[in-house]
A and B are shown apart, each in its own frame.
Chain A
Amino acid sequence: MSDLAKFRAEARAWIEENCPTSCRGENSFLPDMVWGGRRQTFEHDDVKLWLDRLIEKGWTVPTWPQEYGGAGLTDAERDIVLQEMSAAGTRSPLFSFGIAMLAPALMEFASEEQKLKFLPPIARGEIRWCQGYSEPGAGSDLASLQTRAVKEGDEYIVNGQKIWTSDANLSDWIFCLVRTEPQASKHEGISFLLIDMETPGVSTSPIELISGASPFCQTFFEDVRVPTSHLIGEENKGWTVAKRLLQHERGMLSAYTRGARINPTEQITKFARRELGDADGRLTDQAVRDELTQLAFDRLCYEATLQRTMDAAEAGKGMGPESSMFKLYLSELGQREADLRQRIAGRHALVWQGEDCPPQEKELTRGWLYNQASTILGGTSEIQLNIIAKRVLGLPD
């Protein structure tokens, strides 16, 4: 037996032995995502048990080195683990900004000491991270940020305000862009700091979205003292770290639906059949059918492109600024899907609340509203187009 075949057999056996049946299959207890952190609670003990075992095994982040909480697997071995989990109808539910965005940046830019301090708690889902980039005056033009950090001995004193910080009120730590050199040109004086949200002077205040949810906050810093050992990379060189992290963010946003259990096209098709009816097996509404098929085509083409990119990455040709293309395309596609679903539902999707209004209808309305954010967050569509034009196509300024 080849080493990989042996590995596969072992992986399968381990999953078989360790994954509770309640965490497998269609009616699995596993929530879509477990974000982790100090405030994490579990509705089902089995989910916690399964997660603990995955953590123990290093399989929440299989390719990370063991000293950082991973299992040190190769990409090929990781693929096998994912395949075997998927075959068993299960997966690792742990998902976080820490794993997808911060950790890759730490691997590249942090000191060994910092890696040993910050990576294992991410792998174990103990610390939940949020992203302190945007400010009221610095959105698309992120580098114009003003939050100030002044060095005093072995501490920085941080003052300023962040905005749109997703889940800041649920998070334990924040990775933050601050200005350490106000005289320098705007990209030069920025530093990348890690801040414990429990430090005195940090406060958050939720902002309500058009959907009624409040998934993001304003985050305030008032004379917050941060040890200089929490600076990642060099002082005033934080923009390099920040940009790299944004690439990982776009990568994350474009991989969001991968591994998801529901195929959006199938879901809308089912929904359309139920809502609109069919004749001889075909949807009666031709306009909807045509739009639906176009969406199905676009998603298939998108997924083929992701596949091609991953195959290329495995062959050593990594993803660079093209990640902008994925972010742009997937967010718009997702919006078009949500929009069609909304229109198929007709009056049901127009209800905000009321006496004759089942929860799934409210969900539909709110989902559609919330979806409007996807072409804004993580860099707006226009900004992604700018990046493609400049970095991929080399068009002049």
Chain B
Amino acid sequence: MQMILTEEQELLRDSVASFAQDKCDVGQLRALRNQMTGPGFDEALWKDAAELGWLGIPFSEDYGGLGLGYAELGIVLEELGKKLVNLPILSSIVMGGGAIARGGTEALKTALLPGICDGSVLSTLAYQETNRHNPYFVETSAEMIDDTWVLSGRKVLVLDGTDADHIVLLARSSNGATDRDGLSLFVVPCDANGLVRKRNILLDSRVAATIELDNVKVGATTLLGRADEAADIVDLVLAQSAIALSAEMLGGIQQAFDTTLEYLKLREQFGAKIGSFQALKHRAARWFCELELTRSIVMKALRAIDEGSDDLVQLASVCKARASSAFHQSGKEGIQMHGGIGVTDEMDIGFFFKRARVTEMLLGDAGFHRNAYAALSAY
């Protein structure tokens, strides 16, 4: 697949961009960060996104989707990322919905995907248990008792977990806590008995829940794929999630860069534009290179999802590591080049710095992905 946008993709980009321009404002994050009840995102905006068809982009038309791919969804995420738009696309469409699309039985897909596509059902993925990303570390237990799965354990950093209608839960049905084998995925309704959700608002104003399960019982039909063999699905879902998140991060990187570049051409000190100082020029130029490299690898990785490439998991590591370091740099340089005003709450650049920190760590930071890639490449 060519690494340029097709005409249709350019149109999509323009329409998302103008939508974001008209309806989205980074400043909304100031309200959301203190909102301990109610939805963790703007529901009207979510409706709009659904009506525009964006939520169904990666799903097959058989289940109410548009039958497009991640090359297209990535465009939506990037454009929304420029405004740090807080919508549960990653959690519901890419992670929860993505897991169901990859592993669900026909019955599960028919029951759940149409609602996910039209935005009426919110899904998410509950996989993490450790403080740092370590996907095979799973102690949440799944035991089959009388044809019923009994689930107990604790999941953290479940994105949009307090808004979700169900979670796709990663649990251990056999083997020890760090084994790749012995994992199973279940679709668990959030109103199930014994399931408790705790709301955390992260530093980027988004909600991530802690979810505790105490002998939660679900039927055998809620299993995604085969018992004990979920790792194959999980690898792919986490890979596509890391890539989709990188696409959103790319938007943030681009915006932080553009905003700062504008400031360099505006602000004067010593009787000159600060952008004329070579110390800043060179850093801006290097920053630009990082941005371009990130854009390239994101485009390549998004296309690899659509093509079903064999090296998808490796590419996801390359992509997420680059997006992580580039977004971090963008937040830091953005603040530094703004001077004092850069560290005030009044300026939006701080929100990019905060979002950078969260997204860097989500789904594995650069160090995690270097190690994962090296292991997969056998060195």
- A interface vs B, CB < 8 Å? 269, 272-273, 278, 281-283, 289-290, 292-294, 296-298, 300-302, 304-305, 307-308, 311-312, 315, 322, 325, 328-329, 382, 384-386, 388-390, 392-397
Contacts and interface: CB of A to CB of B under 8 A. Distances in A.
Given A307-B296, A325-B289, A301 B379 contact: no
B286 A305 contact: no
5 contacts: A296-B318, A297-B322, A325-B289, A389-B285, A395-B264
Contacts of B265: 394-396
A282 B378 contact: yes
Nearest to B294: A301
Given A281-B378, A388-B289, 6 more contacts: A294-B370, A301-B297, A382-B282, A394-B265, A395-B264, A396-B275
Contact of B282 (A269, A282, A302, A385): A385
A335 B275 CA distance: 29
B294 A278 contact: no
Interface string B245-272: 0000000000000000100110000001
Contacts of B289: 325, 328-329, 388
Nearest to A328: B289
Please tell me the size bucket of the interface on B: 35 or more
Q: Which of A273, A298, A388 has its CB near the most chain B CB atoms (within 10 A)?
A: A388
B28 interface: no
A301 B293 contact: yes
Interface string B314-351: 00001001100000000000000000000000000000
Q: Which of A281, A329, A389, A394 has its CB near the most chain B CB atoms (within 10 A)?
A: A389
B261 A393 contact: yes
Main SS class of interface, B: helix
The 10 closest A-B pairs by CB, nearest first: A389-B281, A304-B296, A388-B285, A305-B296, A308-B3, A293-B370, A301-B293, A395-B275, A385-B285, A385-B282
Interface of B: 2-4, 261, 264-265, 272-273, 275-276, 278, 281-282, 284-286, 288-289, 292-297, 299-300, 318, 321-322, 367, 370-371, 373-375, 377-379
A273 B379 contact: yes
B282 A389 contact: yes
Contacts, number: 118
Contact of B288 (A272, A308, A393): A393
B368 to A, nearest CB: 11
A135 to B, nearest CB: 24
Contacts of A392: 285, 288
A396 to B, nearest CB: 5
Contact of A311 (B4, B276, B281, B292): B4
A382 to B, nearest CB: 7
B3 A307 contact: yes
A293 B3 contact: no
Contacts of B375: 282
B373 A293 contact: yes
Contacts of A396: 265, 272-273, 275-276
Contacts of B367: 290
A396 B282 CA distance: 13
Given A307-B3, A393-B285, A395-B276, A302 B293 contact: yes
B324 to A, nearest CB: 11
A385 B290 CA distance: 13
A258 to B, nearest CB: 15
A282 B373 CA distance: 11
Contact of A325 (B292, B373, B378): B292
Contacts of A328: 289
B300 A307 contact: yes
A305 B293 contact: yes
Contacts of B261: 393, 395
B288 A300 contact: no
Given A297-B373, A396-B275, A325 B379 contact: no
B379 A282 contact: yes
A278 B281 contact: no
B292 A282 contact: no
A329 B291 CA distance: 13
A304 B299 contact: yes
A322 B289 CA distance: 9
A298 B273 CA distance: 33
A308 B370 contact: no
A313 to B, nearest CB: 10
A154 B2 CA distance: 52
Contacts of A269: 377, 379
Given A292-B374, A389-B281, A300 B4 contact: no
B303 to A, nearest CB: 10
Contact of B4 (A292, A315, A384, A390): A315
B51 to A, nearest CB: 32
B221 to A, nearest CB: 40
B2 to A, nearest CB: 5
B306 to A, nearest CB: 16
Contacts of B272: 396
Contacts of A296: 318, 373, 377
Contacts of B273: 395-396
Contacts of B264: 395
A46 to B, nearest CB: 37
A388 B378 CA distance: 38
Contacts of B275: 395-396
Contacts of B321: 297
A333 B164 CA distance: 45
B3 A311 contact: yes
Contacts of A307: 3, 296, 300
A264 to B, nearest CB: 14
Q: Which of B3, B261, B276, B278 has its CB near the most chain A CB atoms (within 10 A)?
A: B3
